[in-house]
Structure 1
Amino acid sequence: MLPRLSWLTVTVLLTLGAGAGFAAADAVTLRYYGQSFFVITTVGGARIVLDPFGNIGFPLPSGVEADAVFITHEHGDHNNAALIGGGAKVFRGITTTPLAWNTIRERVGDALVYSVPSFHDNEGGTSGRGFNALFVVEASGLRIAHLGDLGQAALTDTQLRALGRIDVLLIPVGGAPFTIGGAEATQITEQIQPRLVIPMHYKTAARPTWPGADEQGYLAGKSGVQRIGTSVTLSASTLPRERQILVMAYQ
């Protein structure tokens, strides 16, 4: 019998259309730790961390190393860069004094990461929640978008053009009082038209008193939903023809 994580990874690859010909040469691995914290590892070995959390209820992992850390905004459940070892460079999507977006376009090994300005609310950043950066990671022909704590009910044409084609969408779905909820996330998914969606930033057993909602509001009425483990290996050459939603476990 295969170990649990390996079995889940194999299952996902087969479901996404990978067969015996699946080539590790174009594989990208996503590891999920909960909330909005992901580690992306490219075929060339580049390690990219997005939005590591502080002490918010999820287990704090030890020994996570990276080449670069990207922070979408300066809230404690997204900006714990000190958690990450390996001499990682830290790139912050916004500054808070004065409040402004940083323009980021960085090569990290064989990957390119760039930012797109957005708002943490639906009032143009005036509600007190401020600004947010979207990040796009390009690697091995795969384009992954991490939306941070997006609060806009819809993306603008300018933002959609800046994002470009997105294959894998990491989108918050937990709703008020922090970010978009199921209805808004559904609308934005339709705007972006990704092949794969990974929901994030929603209520879980690790944070049962968190005031946001769970993932069910986003999943309701949608097909192609799979619940998988904490890690998934993806390839541009084996993306599904029809959109699929991967609900990832967290450590």
Structure 2
Amino acid sequence: MELQFYGANCLRVVTKKAVVTIDDNLTDLGLKSVTKNGDIVLFTGLHGDVLAGPKIVIDQPGEYEVSDMSIKGVAARGHIEENDRHGTTLFRLIVDGVRIVITGHVYPELTDEQLEALGTVDILCIPVGGNGYTLDPTGALKIIKKIGPKIIIPTHYFDATIKYPVSQVSLEEAIKELSIEPSETVDKLKLKVTELDEATRLVILERQ
């Protein structure tokens, strides 16, 4: 299993049999789409048209078995939504035994039911840019403490080449506020379930 980061909240999960592209809203932010024909495409929230020909697009809660992976979407309140609205989807992927959760722009107070639906989490990919646009480091830390992942991957922070509609907190500032020192910075995260440590660590994924 290989995890790649493309800026904002866009990630790709690559296995021997499939590629999952997550939150590829890059064209709205002044970048090129990274979705390829045949990709499994996930969106945690609102999105525009998918430019390539995906194998399947999943943007709603539910349980899906696609190729060599299991995907679960869990309904959640968006970070600026009213209490009774659930316009965001948390995604949990099980890939080669590794359990990955992508939160998107979620409200930081997850319910017990949502936490139970997500279950044990090995890798948590979570926005930290804040400023009313997405989770800030304080909100991200609330989710991190509740979920207790083995690996934390911050996303959606300041990048001079990304045209965010709202300025985002820098990665350095987010790390300082999280009070978790990065264990490593990698181009891509290649991982087997047997390589997971028990202690929580922060891993920085370089943008592709």
| TM-score, normalization by structure 1 | 0.74
Question: Is 2:114 aligned against 1:159?
Answer: yes
* Larger Rg over CA atoms: 1
Question: Is 2:46 aligned against 1:88?
Answer: no
Is the 1:69–1:81 Cα contact (8 Å) retained in structure 2? no
2:189 aligns to what? 232
1:187 aligns to what? 142
> Which residue, 101, 115, 120 being the options, matches 1:145?
101
2:174 aligns to what? 218
Partners in 2 of 1:30 and 1:212 — Cα distance? 23
Counting matched residue pairs gives: 205
Q: How far off its partner does 1:196 sit?
A: 0.5
> Which residue, 58, 64, 72 being the options, matches 2:44?
72
Amino acid in structure 2 at the alignment position of 1:31: Q
Gapped regions of structure 2 (runs ≥ 5): none
Gapped regions of structure 1 (runs ≥ 5): 1-27, 94-102
Q: How far off its partner does 1:56 sit?
A: 3.8
Q: Secondary structure in 2 aligned to 1:136?
A: strand
Give a deviation string over 1:29-57, Cα, whole Å, max 9, x none: 112111111111124x1211111124244
Is the 1:58–1:207 Cα contact (8 Å) retained in structure 2? yes
> Which residue, 186, 198, 202 being the options, matches 1:241?
198
Give a deviation string over 1:193-241, Cα, whole Å, max 9, x none: 0011111111112137642212234311213432222x22111110123
Amino acid in structure 1 at the alignment position of 2:70: L
RMSD: 2.2
Q: Secondary structure in 2 aligned to 1:55?
A: helix
Partners in 2 of 1:125 and 1:60 — Cα distance? 34
Give a deviation string over 1:148-203, Cα, whole Å, max 9, x none: 111x2321111110110000000011112211100111121011000111111111
Is the 1:113–1:136 Cα contact (8 Å) retained in structure 2? yes
Is the 2:24–2:35 Cα contact (8 Å) retained in structure 1? no
Q: Secondary structure in 1 aligned to 2:27?
A: coil
Is the 2:45–2:104 Cα contact (8 Å) retained in structure 1? yes
Partners in 1 of 2:34 and 2:99 — Cα distance? 28
Distance 1:121 1:161, change over 3 A: same
